[in-house]
Amino acid sequence: MKTLSYQSVTLNIFVLLFLTTLVMGCKDGKPDLNTVKHQRFVGIRKQDTTIAVIKVAGTDFYGSMEVLYHVGMKDSGIVKGKLYGDTLFAGDYYHLHDGQDHWMRVPLRLLKRQNK
């Protein structure tokens, strides 16, 4: 009968823990699309208004956003990014400026406060 040394047992345990961590870390991280939450944000700055309709699935968010300027122009586009905690939305706003034909990207941060 073969006896195992302390070092070989320790090595086997280490390898087993490493493989377990690797397998658990590689789980399919897709959000459950059946639990998508719809949220709406409205922001007003002087005479300009921003309206964002956002869908949250897991830690990802996506949706649409419009910036309505008081002079009659508007920017329309999509937003997408990650949700950090339950209050910080960090992502990008891809939009077309009124009358232009090329897409622009703007970093976006939204902060919820008092469940609003």
**Nearest in space to 31 (alpha carbons), one of 52, 61, 51:** 61
Q: What is the pLDDT of residue 103?
A: 86
Q: What is the pLDDT of residue 73?
A: 86
> pLDDT under 50 in the chain at which residues?
1
User: Domain map of the chain by residue range?
Assistant: 33-111
Other Cβ atoms closer than 10 A to 91: 20
Q: What is the pLDDT of residue 17?
A: 59
pTM equals 0.60
Q: What is the pLDDT of residue 18?
A: 58
C-alpha–C-alpha distance, residues 83 and 73, integer Å: 30
